[in-house]
Amino acid sequence: MFGLENQKKKKYEVFVFDLEKEFKTPKRHSELKKEIEAKVQKVKELLRDGENKDDYDNLGTLLYGYTAFLKVMSRFNAK
């Protein structure tokens, strides 16, 4: 009725981020994990030096971001 009959039959696609697609391949998953872990170690080394207060705060924020990324990665199993 009123041209709305065909709308019920349409199937909707599930949105998937590009990064999620990359997580599904085991090789890329391990490459990303190693890359981020190396960056985390580099940031930790810079934080230990602690020369500038502004850099210290920015690096701390960056470290939180990297650890959050690793936490999200751990939820995706490479298949």
Domain edges within the chain: 31-79
As given in the structure block, the two tokens for residue 62 are 């960056």
Q: Tens-digit pLDDT profile for the chain (79 aa)?
A: 566 666 666 677 888 888 888 888 889 889 999 999 999 999 999 888 877 777 888 898 999 999 999 998 888 775 5
Give whole-number Cα distances, 50 to 58, 62, 68, in Å.
Answer: 11, 14, 22
Name the pTM for this structure. Answer: 0.70
Q: What pLDDT score was predicted for residue 66?
A: 95
